[in-house]
Structure 1
Amino acid sequence: MYAELITAALALTPTTLIPRQTRLNCPATISCPANNGCSSTAANGAAFQLKCTTNFNGPVIAVNQAATFAKCITACSVTSGCKGLNYKGEFCYLLGNTINVGPTVSVSNVNAATQTRPATIASPTAGSSICTTAITCPATDGCQYTSNSKTFYTRCGFDFYGGDMADGNSKVANMKRCVDKCATTKGCVGVSFSTSTKTCYLKSVLQPAVYSSNTNGM
């Protein structure tokens, strides 16, 4: 038995071991396996530890598109109940609703992370402030805005994906004009505004909000 253990140990080469960098901060662009174990902190103070070539088989509570691993981290940090994530090909799979994120499987094209510290900065509550004439994210997150006797609340960095009104998409200059259009459109209950394309999406139904780095909801 001891001989078998020794033989197994000798069979391990440096190329089969993934270096750990626990407590070191992750760089802006991660590289696996070199940065395995590094720590990444989101803007709200939530901290996560990178686990290279790892896939967690826990329950998926949301799926987001994220151009970078850092944006995937942000998505988890602002999603209620998110405890960890799997990141594959610009798709971010958020995991939660359990104490842990499930058993792990080694997968070459998936990197994962687990939350090591919850957010230390709370998100603004709806109506915590009143929007002025300009609605500018993230400064106005949670602000209350009234147009045509209808009240709206800003959700910076969130998209009410789905529930679009027929022929309800249009190009507008800013978020305020998008909301004003909703306020005067029968059946409109909210909007999603793409900051990258300046497109206003009017919603007849508000689906659960999902994180989006280039979209603001109201």
Structure 2
Amino acid sequence: MGLTRSTLVVLFSLLFLFQPLVNAQDQAQGRPGAAASAPAPAAGRPGSAPADQVPIQPAASGPAPAAGRPDSASTPPTSSDAAPAAGRPGASTAPAAGDPAAGRPKVYSCPADNGARYTTANGVTFELRCDHGTTAKPLINTITATQKECADYCSTLPNCQSADWNANAKMCATKQETFPLTGTHTWFPLEERKQRPDTEYRTPPECPAPKVALAESVTASASFTTDGECPTSKRTVKYTGVSYSLTIADDGKIFLTPQGTYFQVKCSFENTAEITVSGSRPLHDFAECMTACADIPECKSVTFGNGKPNWECKMFEAGVEALTADATSNYFMLPDKKPSAVVIDPPTSAKQDDLTYLCSTECPNADGQTWDSPTGQRFRMDCCKRHGTIPIGDTQAGSLEECMKICGFTLACQSVDFQRDTGMCYLGKHSGAPIIAASGWASAYAIGCAGACKKEGRCVA
């Protein structure tokens, strides 16, 4: 059956009637943010358009609500992924003007967000600089999932001046100073952070120079030997036109015996005195020969046989005046000579004097001095040391002198440790010198009654 003209007119009218509705649905569902026109009333309902009239489409400036969302905003957002309008669920504060991240979600990335600013929850505002890392004074390194979390972490550190975030390693490195570092993106707080204070100058406690006994070979100007063996001073001699170099390093050197007697070694001399000390006898070596002589007050010199022809250690009451050249030694000072040694006075050298103020109870001048308490107890004082023993009591004192005075009135007290800054006075029972080095401390210990070594001396009750 063919279509009549009337039937065709009706079909075309229906087509034009439903076309705007189809377009509005496509815009609301297929393209986010596009305006959607309101659906046309159904045919036969009030307000429906006549069958031969095409409905007028809504203007672009006033889009219909999106499908499924009543009361949609009448003003279109600035971009397709803009944040929801203020006052609605999920709404956020609009970015500041000029922010490179404006109109995008707060997911920071470089280089797009270079120069972006971000304020953390605790109120620290940062500025992102891409490819601008720091290389000095690191603080703490930690792993953060995002670049934004790295800024949050830096805001919790009072002295954090920048936060480097490496996109590959997810490493957030907080720093104190800024230097360009290509390939690393950095958050810089705009407000000045709390700076680390400079080291405060503090005058160190005055401690006396340590009185450590040094080996005399270090302090004296003379040369010492430990064994007195002669075949070791270097000289060159000529024999039939040929030069020979010989070493006799110990000749003229000083040998110190365990008893404290000083001998001067004479490698090419022999004592020719006829009277020997009764202690002469064979001994192991030259050093033992000199040591044996030191045991005998009358012995002033020795000559050691050195196995030529025996090991005899000859001791003499005569000194250096009796020494003559050894006739058995050849011109080249070969080991067949008989070494000798003579007792000499102790060697001396210039020393710096200590500047000591008498009767002082303040360090460092009090070091090594004594002080008599009102009860007659005598204390010896040491600076920059403490006993460190278990105290029998403690109290506050204004000075070391006051601390010792308190100890003098305490029956069981024999020692004190005093800390100058805190004024703490620790009383103890240690009878002896302190052995713990402690800067800022002073100590003292009782050494008996004042005047106890005098014939009539006694403690005052």
| TM bracket, shorter-chain basis | 0.3 to 0.5
Structure having the larger proportion of residues in strand: 1
Report which of the two structures shows the higher radius of gyration computed on alpha carbons: 2
Q: TM-score, normalised by structure 1?
A: 0.41
